[in-house]
Amino acid sequence: MGATTFTPDTERLLDSAEAFCVSRHQRLTEQRRQVLGLILDSPRPSGAYDLLDRMRVDGKPTAPPTVYRALEFLTAQGLVHKIERLSAFVGCAHMLQSASPCGHSHGHAQGIEAIQFLICTHCRRVFEITDDRIRTAIDAAAQAQGFRPAGATVEIEGTCAECLADAAAAQTQIS
């Protein structure tokens, strides 16, 4: 049974995620660690069956429920996010950008948790953003209706800057 080799950056994040889990009295088991590592090492969102296939190629006999349970744990801990539109998972950008993983809640002292993603329909990359104006607008719209939201995930489809530049360069070559 071979062990997955991750990039040094991913290994550092996995060690940090493990310490975070321990601080919450949770266990980042070997399978959870492997699933998180595969997600973090991927440049695009990973679906459950994609993860399952990658684990099997690595020589680890894994059943779908194992991957789903790992994803459920990682999501509950705030280490990954599910992109509903793609039915796939990405590592939390806040975890990736900070020295300590995901003790944040994407929310604020007042208002709802509002996670926001930009999804490129061309290259399928996903960018997590944090724009308090979006959260504030959701809060205001809900309050105007007498509604108390528990959370919100905003998924915006479009074209990323890199794909736009590639398309412009291709257009320039054609002209």
Cα distance between residue 175 and residue 115, in whole Å: 41
Per-residue pLDDT at 78 exceeds 80? yes
Per-residue pLDDT at 101 exceeds 70? no
pTM, full prediction: 0.82
Q: What pLDDT shows up at residue 3?
A: 59
Say whether 102 counts as a known binding-site residue: no
Mean predicted confidence (pLDDT) in 73-99: 86
Residue 89's alpha-carbon distances to 71, 141, 156, 157, 159, in angstroms, are 8, 28, 16, 16, 19
Q: What pLDDT shows up at residue 61?
A: 74
Say whether 21 counts as a known binding-site residue: no
Pairing of strands 88-91, 80-83: antiparallel
Cα distance between residue 120 and residue 163, in whole Å: 8
Per-residue pLDDT at 172 exceeds 60? yes
Per-residue confidence band for 110, with pLDDT thresholds at 50, 70 and 90: low
Q: What pLDDT shows up at residue 23?
A: 94
Q: What pLDDT shows up at residue 133?
A: 93
Cα–Cα–Cα angle for 97, 80, 164, rounded to 5 degrees: 65
Handedness of CA 152, 158, 160, 161 (dihedral sign): negative
Name the nearest CA neighbour of 94 among 76, 80, 84. 80
- Please indicate whether residue 86 or residue 113 has the higher confidence score (pLDDT): 86
Per-residue pLDDT at 96 exceeds 70? no
Digit-coded pLDDT (tens) for 3-23:
578 999 999 999 999 999 999
Query: What is the set of domains in the chain, with CATH numbers?
Result: 1-97 (1.10.10.10), 105-175 (3.30.1490.190)
